[in-house]
Amino acid sequence: MKSRWLTNILLFTTIVILILIARYEPGIEEADVETVIPLNTSDIERVSVTRPLRDELLLEKDKDGFWWIMREPRLPAETFQVNALTRLAEQTVTRSYPVSDMNLGQLELDPPRASLTLNQTRIDFGGIDALENQRYLRVGDQVKLVPDLYLYRVEAGYTQFVRRKILPQHTHITSLTLPGLTLEKGDSGWLLSPTRDISGDDVQQFIDSWQAATAINVREADSQPQGERLTIRLAEQQQPVELVITSRKPELVLARPAFGIEYRMGDIAARLLEPALAGGPP
């Protein structure tokens, strides 16, 4: 029994020693991992997208870390969608080649299918290596192969990057005017005009629903949308948020004329128009 115990101890010690040798043996270094560009995603403050069939898309990050779509008017951007683009900077490269060794025309890199500029570094998108489903990129004097995860985002319209949450971050509703009903925040709670027999908790839940209201998606709106008007006033800004109810069924659609867009709110979001329904079953 003692002999078997000693054998097990020796075997365990030998395994540990071999692991340490394999990991720390002098002269053995981990290979450097090549990324598309030597830039951390967190350091990117400007994104420019050029593609043949769409207008240029320009995104900029403000001092508070929020992204904006730089057009007229400026639109708040969805951080998640922008990050999906900027992650390309840190994408691991499968293989790379000198530009001088490649036929750029055959790779659809001359002219490129699209271009993405992160800060000051331009990345051209080419065709596909069909055998490995890898996309050709040109970065400076190098052609790089990466997984085909980014071109469809680069080719998306600007509305795909608009923030889907209706109200700005860190703002608070002080007044909400709906068709046939106005809610105003007073010193002792919310005041309804005309008055209704609704509990204070239900009213607060209704306001909370508007604070968090987020669209399924965003699309361009008619230049002069028709429908009932809805106004939201916020404590942190003088300009109210003006919306137009362009559809109630089969889903609620809210146009925002000042932005030239509309929010598709889904089939249960009609509760945003009636406080008595805000606390109902899903």
Torsion of CA 71, 77, 81, 82, to 10 degrees: 70
Hey, which of 7-16, 23-32, 258-267 has the most confident mean pLDDT?
258-267
Residue 36 lies in a domain: no
Average pLDDT of the segment spanning 162-191: 95
Widest CA span in the chain: 91
With cut-offs at 50, 70 and 90, classify the pLDDT of residue 276: confident
pLDDT at 29: 47
Instruction: Please spell the DSSP secondary structure of 206-236, one letter per residue.
Output: HHHHHHT-B-SEEEE--SS--SEEEEEEETT
pLDDT at 24: 47
Average pLDDT of the segment spanning 191-212: 93
CB 252 within 8 A of CB 272: yes
Look at residues 111, 141, 160 and tell me which one is the last residue of a structural domain.
Answer: 160
**Which CATH number do you get for residue 178?**
2.60.40
Q: 152 and 54 in one domain?
A: yes
If you average pLDDT over every residue of the chain, what do you get? 89
How many angstroms from the chain centroid is the CA of residue 72? Answer: 20
* pLDDT over 90, % of the chain: 76
Residue 267 lies in a domain: yes
Give dist(CA 206, CA 225) in Å, integer: 25
* Total domains present in the chain: 2
Q: 195 and 247 in one domain?
A: yes
Lowest mean pLDDT segment, chosen from 219-223, 227-231, 257-261: 219-223
What is the number of other CB atoms lying within 10 angstroms of the CB of residue 34? Answer: 14
Residue 19 lies in a domain: no
Q: 180 and 126 in one domain?
A: no
Give dist(CA 127, CA 113) in Å, integer: 8
Q: 150 and 171 in one domain?
A: no
Look at residues 104, 134, 160 and tell me which one is the last residue of a structural domain.
Answer: 160
Q: 150 and 46 in one domain?
A: yes
Residue 32 lies in a domain: no
Task: Quote the domain boundaries for residue 242.
Answer: 166-277
Residue 23 lies in a domain: no
